[in-house]
């Protein structure tokens, strides 16, 4: 029986811990208690232009057309996001009786969380959110698939 809503196994999650550290260039903060540290999703600086079917639009040079996003949009996406990457979990996360032994997420999962919850901060110039384990609303595969309306 799978006792997690994660897309990943526990072993894969341990690999993600190392990969996250390598990608960030530093170890993320270690969460305490039942808290989670999420790296807030930031929209990419460049985007490939796609047609209505989702295929890249090819330019005159034979390469996909790319648009450079203004800094203001990238910055707005960071603090307006409701998506984050789980970088660390406290040792008590998902241990309470109410979870009935089910982990809602693991390190390496992209998750959706409610806006205006938790504590936003910059740690080594990287946006993080500290949030309670029970504030997670869902686990997703790709943060670029999420749009707020």
pLDDT in tens, 95-117: 999 999 999 999 999 999 998 88
Q: How many domains would you assign to the chain? A: 2
Tokens 């919850």, residue located: 117
Residues 87 and 61 in one domain: no
Residues 60 and 92 in one domain: no
Which of 62, 66, 73 is closest to 49 using CA atoms? 66
Contact 28, 128 (CB under 8 A): yes
Residues 31 and 91 in one domain: yes
Backbone angles phi, psi at 130, to 5 degrees: -100, 125
Residues 92 and 146 in one domain: yes
Least confident segment among 75-79, 109-113, 115-119, 138-142: 75-79
* Bridge-based pairing state of the strands 35-40 and 83-89: antiparallel
pLDDT tens-digit map of 12-61 = 888 888 999 999 999 999 999 999 999 998 876 667 788 888 888 888 88
* Bridge-based pairing state of the strands 35-40 and 126-132: antiparallel
Structural domain boundaries, residue 64: 44-80
Residues 116 and 93 in one domain: yes
Mean pLDDT taken over the chain: 86
For 29, the token pair is 């903060």
Residues 30 and 99 in one domain: yes
């Amino acid at each position: 029986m799978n006792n997690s809503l994660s897309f990943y196994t526990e072993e894969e999650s341990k690999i993600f811990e190392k990969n996250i550290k390598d990608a960030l260039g530093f170890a993320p903060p270690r969460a305490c208690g039942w808290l989670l540290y999420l790296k807030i999703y930031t929209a990419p600086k460049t985007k490939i232009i796609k047609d209505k079917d989702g295929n890249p639009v090819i330019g005159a040079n034979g390469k996909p057309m790319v648009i450079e996003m203004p800094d203001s949009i990238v910055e707005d996406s960071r603090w307006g996001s409701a998506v984050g990457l789980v970088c660390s979990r406290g040792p008590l996360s998902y241990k309470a009786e109410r979870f009935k032994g089910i982990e809602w997420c693991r390190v390496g999962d992209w998750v959706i969380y409610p806006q205006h919850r938790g504590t936003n901060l910059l740690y080594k110039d990287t946006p993080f959110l500290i949030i309670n384990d029970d504030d997670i609303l869902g686990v997703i595969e790709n943060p670029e698939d999420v749009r707020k309306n």
